Structure 1
Amino acid sequence: MPKFELKKTEIKKEDGFISYADFARTALNNTPQSGFSIDEMRKRMRILDILDKEKLGFEEMDLNNEDIKILKSSVSSMKWGVIHKDIIAFCDAVEKLGGE
Structure 2
Amino acid sequence: MKTLPIKTVLLDPNEQASETNYGELIKTVVGRVDPSQGGIRVEDMAKRLRIIDAVNALAPDATEIQLEDADAATLVESLSSMRWAIVSHAIADFCGDMGAAK
Give the TM interval when normalised to the shorter protein: 0.7 to 0.9
Among 14, 23, 26, which residue is 2:25 paired with? 23
Counterpart residue number, 1:42: 46
Cα–Cα, structure 1 residues 75 and 57, in superposed 2: closer, same or farther, change >3 Å? Answer: farther
Larger Rg: 2
Shift of 1:42: 0.2
RMSD: 1.8
Q: Deviations over 1:17-65 (max 9, x none)?
A: 2011111111011112312100000000000001112255652101111
Percent same amino acid among aligned pairs? 24
1:19/1:58 contact within 8 Å kept: no
The TM-score with structure 2 as length reference comes to 0.84
Q: Which runs of 5+ in 2 are unaligned?
A: none
TM-score (normalised: structure 1)? 0.85
Partner of 1:3: 3
- Quickly say closer, same or farther: Cα 1:56–1:39, change in 2 above 3 A: farther
What is aligned with 2:88?
84
Structure 1 stretches lacking a partner, 5+ long: none
Equivalent residue pairs, number: 96
Runs of 4+ that moved beyond 6 A: none
